[in-house]
Amino acid sequence: MGRLLVTGANGLVGSQFKEDLIAITSKVGDLRDKKTADSIIAFYTDKDRQKEYAVDRIIHCAAKVGGVGGNMKYKGEFFYDNIMINTNVIESARQHGVKKLVAFLSTCVFPDNVEYPLTESKIHLGPPHPSNDAYAYAKRMAEIQIRAYREQYGLNYTSVIPTNIYGPNDNFNIENGHVIPSLIHKCYLARENNTDLTIWGSGKPLREFIYSKDVADLALWVLDNYDESEPIILSTSEEISIKDVVDIIVKTMNFKGNVIFDNTKPDGQFRKPSDNSKLMGYLPDFKFTPFEVGIKETVEWFEKNYPNIKQ
Ligand code: GDP
């Protein structure tokens, strides 16, 4: 077997792969540009140059991502960056003979109005939630591209749909980040400055969180073992309210001040419960990292690295 190349290797999931691999970060090159994407993939897949170290598998994590704030504010960028990155990486992988590719989608791809729980077959059954539709449509197109390439070229490419991921190395930006990194950052500042901790929305929405290390382990399993065209949902299928997430972060960070819910800020989708039975059918014994443990490790990572964090 050849080597593995990971795009987005500095990111939330990409940074969690511990095996020997080719790590493509945004510093290596701008994957929105076809020529750049092509020259990177051409270089590492070149058998004359790389010999037995030539890349033949890709886990494609690179993406422009953000929480409900970023998704609403930068719709143009979220659409353009993601559709270009995905289109270029998947096409260059095909052109240079990459045998297996696993692309990351997101539960944002699912329709807003759809019967719960979400399953792999429901992606295209209606428009996504308006707060993140630009991102969602760009990601949906990766699924279409992969299916088309499978049909026309017979390529064993596929995709995964993780629920809300959290962990070390995330983007901790308070305005544009996802809820857990934003809350950890805000809680840290509130504790240090003796101020209130302000939560967006009502705290009532429900989400399913998965630890980045579990996602990396599952993506490696998918790479070597999952050969279906249909995406596979990576999820604990356990819902938790934003209010309960706040309580766990507050306790873990030993914050003693006031917690305020700001209803002028968006709640986003109320819930998006997923059905993980396909994953569990393949991996019945997989043990997810308990949420409290993942939060503790993430908070420890944040406190150790602050202020040298992505934000
Ligand atoms: P989503 O699952 O795509 O909506 O992604 P988010 O990570 O942005 O999760 C959003 C949920 O957390 C929404 O219900 C928000 O109202 C709530 N939330 C509470 N405080 C914050 C915050 O500081 N940042 C973000 N992004 N969301 C927050």
135 is catalytic: yes
Residues 155-192 pLDDT 10s? 999 999 999 999 999 999 998 889 999 999 999 999 99
The 3-state secondary structure of 40-82 reads: HHHHHHCHHHHHHHCEEEEEECCCCCCCHHHHHHCHHHHHHHH
Instruction: Quickly state the pLDDT bin for 38 (edges 50, 70, 90).
Output: very high
With bands split at pLDDT 50, 70 and 90, how would you rate the model's confidence at 71? confident
Q: Are 38 and 90 in contact (CB under 8 A)?
A: no
pLDDT at 68 over 80: no
Structure tokens given for 24: 């493509």
User: What is the pLDDT at residue 72?
Assistant: 84
pLDDT (0 to 100) of residue 14: 97
Q: Report the distance separating Cα 3 and Cα 178, nearest Å.
A: 32
Closest CA to ligand 1's atom 25: 179
What would the mean pLDDT of 46-59 be, rounded to a whole number? 95
Q: Which atom of ligand 1 is nearest to the CA of 132?
A: 3
| Average pLDDT score over the chain | 96
pLDDT over threshold 90, residue 196: yes
pLDDT band at 1 (very low <50, low <70, confident <90, very high): confident
- In this predicted structure, the answer to whether residue 82 has a pLDDT above a threshold of 80 is yes
- Ligand 1 atom 22 nearest Cα: 179
Q: What is the pTM of this model?
A: 0.96
Atom nearest to 205 CA in ligand 1: 14
Query: Is the per-residue pLDDT at 246 higher than 80?
Result: yes
CA of 104 to the centre of ligand 1 (A): 20
Residue pLDDT, tens place only, 99-146: 999 999 999 999 999 999 999 999 999 999 998 999 999 999 999 999
User: What band does 268 get if pLDDT is binned at 50, 70 and 90?
Assistant: confident
> Active-site residue among 44, 74, 80, 135?
135
Contact 297, 248 (CB under 8 A): no
Residue 95: what pLDDT?
Answer: 98
Residues with CB under 6 Å of ligand 1 are 67-69, 108, 132, 164, 178-179, 182-183, 199-201, 205, 207, 242, 266-269
Which of 12, 64, 68, 183 gets mutated to test ligand 1 (max ligand atoms within 8 A of its CB)?
68
- Report the nearest atom of ligand 1 relative to the CA of 164: 2
DSSP assignment of the chain? --EEEEESTTSTTGGG--SS-EEE-TTT--TTSHHHHHHHHHHHH-HHHHGGG-EEEEEE-------HHHHHH-HHHHHHHHHHHHHHHHHHHHHTT--EEEEE--GGGSBSS-PSSB-GGGTTSSPBPGGGHHHHHHHHHHHHHHHHHHHHH--EEEEEEE-EEE-TT-B--TTTS-HHHHHHHHHHHHHHHT-PEEEES-S--EE-EEEHHHHHHHHHHHHHH---SS-EEE-----EEHHHHHHHHHHHTT--S-EEEETTS----S---B--HHHHHH-TT--PPPHHHHHHHHHHHHHHHTTSSB-
Ligand 1, residues 163, 175, 183, 200: which to mutate, most atoms within 8 A of Cβ? 200
Q: Say how many Å lie between the CA of residue 91 and the centre of ligand 1.
A: 33
Q: Which atom of ligand 1 is nearest to the CA of 108?
A: 3
pLDDT at position 94 over 80: yes
